[in-house]
Amino acid sequence: MSDKPIKIPGPDHPITTERNQARVVVTLGGRVIADTRDALALREATYPAVQYIPREDVDMPLLERTDHSSHCPYKGDASYFSIPLGGERSRNAVWTYENPHAAVAAIKDRLAFYPDRVDKIEEIQP
């Protein structure tokens, strides 16, 4: 049993996920880190949308799992990866919810990138 709070999205703190129709490409140091046509855009309250990318569309050998973690009462416990190619700037640049709360189950095992820890997260419209 966890003592971490679980909150359910609602009118005061909405969370939605929907398939992004755009191709999403993440680059760092001249390398493509992720390239997908299957991103999920998660919109939470007033925060900017976050693109959650399937692992099969990420160059996983470029990532290195870290022992960093965080907790969101709406989404659950997040695990992190660094991108060694980006040096210190790209430490813990990527996060994932491997066992998210039911309300956001669609993001399970997908990866999200901090925009300031990569060179670009580009959305290319079809």
The total of structural domains in the chain comes to: 1
- Structural domain includes residue 96: yes
- Structural domain includes residue 89: yes
- Structural domain includes residue 5: no
- Structural domain includes residue 8: no
Q: What 3-state DSSP class applies to 72?
A: strand
- Name the residue among 44, 42, 35 with its Cα closest to residue 62: 35
Q: What is the pLDDT of residue 3?
A: 77
- Structural domain includes residue 110: yes
Q: What is the pLDDT of residue 4?
A: 84
φ, ψ of residue 124 in degrees (nearest 5): -100, 115
- Structural domain includes residue 28: yes
CATH number for the domain harbouring residue 20: 2.170.150.40
The parent domain of residue 111 ranges over 15-124
Reading phi first (left if > 0) and then psi (alpha if -120 to 50, else beta), residue 7 is in beta
Q: What is the pLDDT along the chain (126 residues), one digit of tens a residue?
A: 457 888 999 999 999 999 999 999 999 999 999 999 999 999 999 999 999 999 999 999 999 999 999 999 999 999 999 999 999 999 999 999 999 999 999 999 999 999 999 999 999 998
Q: What is the pLDDT of residue 2?
A: 57
- Structural domain includes residue 87: yes
- Structural domain includes residue 85: yes
* Residue 38 to residue 65: CA distance in whole angstroms: 23
